[in-house]
Amino acid sequence: MNEALQSSAPSGEAGAALVPLYVSGVFREAPLAFRAQLIECLMRPMGALGLVAVANGVFAALRQRHGWDHLQVTVDDTARINADQVLELSAYLQQTAPDVFGQVAELVSRQPAVASGLSAMLLLHVVRSSFKRR
């Protein structure tokens, strides 16, 4: 990340509060194939009740469509999901399973084309700085 961006990027609690926004930005900016991987990563720690409670149940419907025993998100599935729904899912996860964002950061960092986007750079900065303090 360039120095100007890094010095102006929020960190600590202020940065952590923005993680759901950055994740939804990554989703918005990413190609469809990566979006499917991102949604799978975000859905892994979710139970049935959480999936029903978030984003009007869109993620529960997706999970039910492919079977509760096997998590699979297709490119077609991602076309039916929008960034606001990913924002809501991420905000829920921030309260219930914040460690998932370390996995999201790993996923993003392994995709150079995705990691070069502004939202991805901000997400990586915030997640890495918050995990260093633990």
Average pLDDT, the chain: 86
Q: What is the mean pLDDT of residues 81-101?
A: 96
Question: In the prediction, which pLDDT does 59 show?
Answer: 92
CA 49 to CA 17: how far, in whole Å? 24
Question: In the prediction, which pLDDT does 107 show?
Answer: 96
Question: In the prediction, which pLDDT does 13 show?
Answer: 65
Question: In the prediction, which pLDDT does 114 show?
Answer: 93
Range ranked top by mean pLDDT from 44-53, 63-72, 78-87: 78-87
Q: Which helix (H) or strand (E) holds 20?
A: helix 19-29
Alpha carbon distances (Å) from 22 to 13, 86, 106: 14, 10, 14
